[in-house]
Amino acid sequence: MQYLLTRDEYEQIFARHDKAINDLKDKLQNVCSLAAENVKVRLDEGMQPWGCVRTSDHTSYCDLCPVRKLCPYEGKRYSK
C-alpha cells in the first residue's frame, strides 16, 4: 500500500521524528551525567566518582567514565 503525502505532511513527520530523537538523546545524556557523577571508579585516591566533563569542574577527561560508551556527548575529551 502506498500513500501520497504533501510536502508539508512529509516535513511534519520528520520534524516529529527529529524532536523525538533529540528528546531521547537529552534524557540519555542526563542519565549518563548522573551516572558519571555518582558511580564510583577506582582512582589513585581510592574509590571515587569520576565526574562528568559536561557538568563537573574537577574532571577534564572522559578516560575512566563508567558510561563513556553510552554517552551521546559529542565533545568527549581523552588524555593522550
pLDDT by position in tens, the chain (length 80): 888 999 999 999 999 999 999 999 999 999 999 999 999 988 888 898 888 988 877 778 998 899 999 999 998 989 88
* Three cell numbers, residue 10: 512529509
The answer to the question of residue 3 being in a domain is no
Q: What is the pTM of this model?
A: 0.77
- Give the count of domains, the chain: 1
Domain residues for the domain of 35 are: 12-80
The answer to the question of residue 1 being in a domain is no
Alpha-carbon distance of 19 to 1, in angstroms, equals 27
